[in-house]
Structure 1
Amino acid sequence: MTPATILVVEDEGIVAQEIKSRLEKTGYTICAVAHDGQTAVAHAGEMRPDLVLMDIRLKGEMDGIEAAGLIRDRFRIPVVYLTAYTDPATLERAKIMEPFGYVVKPFETRSLIVSIEVAIHRHRSESERIYREKLQAVLETAGAICHELNQPMMAISGHTELLIGILDRSDPVYLKIAKIKSQVERMGAITQKLMGITRYETKDYVQGERIVDIDKSSLTFD
């Protein structure tokens, strides 16, 4: 697996470099180090790291909690808080932003790594679950639409058969009607496969998107 990329957000330069050094020695890639909330949000949008390690107390108008909320809402990137402040008010405010972990300073490298790994695994699992739930809903809707399409397609197919039966093969219209019939039959085969999919496989599409591989899904469950 490719090492995770991490954005470190810490306003103390020496502390930030220490964290960066520890993580790099463990095998992580540090895509950037930010010292304020605005920069952190900008880096998260530009670099799309696998995780953001966020100090709660940052200098400037935007603290780590606010920055974490923006990163979550805009980019859906998991955030692990890193802070020496554990007072109840701060914790309650931090929890509202639904962090994927919370590491208290001073910390051991091992505890930090465990928090990072758990957060990344949890985020990937949740993302996969949400993706599959959405895809399943789309498939169910597609199946219902295909069911509704069957009747008009059968009517078109029936009429094309009647026309083919009365037209001479030399008639230019004959070839056009035959083409229509062939395409309707193809559509019918696709709709039958869609209605039969209860589980599925996906394949790469354009611009990094993935779509349902109808043939593989159908072949798997015929």
Structure 2
Amino acid sequence: MSIRIIHGASEASFELSGHPIYLVAEKLRDILNVPSQFISYLDGRLVSNNYVLDGKHEVLEFVKPFGRKGGLPDFWSENELLEFFGNEAIERIVEAGLDLESNSVIPKSEVIAWNDWLHNSEEPRLEIPARVNIKKEIIQMNGENYHIDQEMAAIVKCIVDAKGAWITTTEMQKKYPEYIVNNRVDDVIRRKIFTHKSGIGDYIESCWKGYHLTSLKE
């Protein structure tokens, strides 16, 4: 059974049973001008880009993560993540570093980054030699432990967990409201985290979009 594929004003119909959505997007990128980042609606229901088409659906639509249609929710609960990704994918994500035990909600930027990581081998998760323990007030860089207060630790963990995706201070405060109570998070990052003796500031860049991990700055 063929399925109708839509992106914006472009559309086509193909028999695609047995193909994961991310692979369909790659094959049709030039034909339908599918963006590198997208979310998928199958018969109007939001699904993971890892979903395998089974021939039982009529319409697959690709939508940019941001825009008038609304895109992804700003914050996701653990149950919403399980429903979206499925148990097997969530197990892979948790094994790769997602901390669901400490986080009551996950920001949209992180969901997008994990979704890309699941199916795009050319964009692996950005790794840096950092581990953060908020409650113990420890940041470990290159195997060496440094003291860091809980607010700073929570901010750094937000940035590290986003794996290179941009994250805003609002998303950080929503993720760890019990730790990030300072309304001047930007000042904390600029004055304390960028200059922290662990060197973590060398891996963080900022702009109007927020903050993200990068390779070691020159």
Give the shorter-chain TM-score range.
under 0.3
Give the TM-score normalised by structure 1: 0.24
Give the TM-score normalised by structure 2: 0.24
Q: Comparing both chains, which one has the higher relative contact order based on Cα–Cα distances under 8 Å and sequence gaps of 6 or more?
A: 2
Relative to its length, the structure with more helix (as a share) is: 1
Larger-gyration structure (1/2): 1
Relative to its length, the structure with more strand (as a share) is: 2
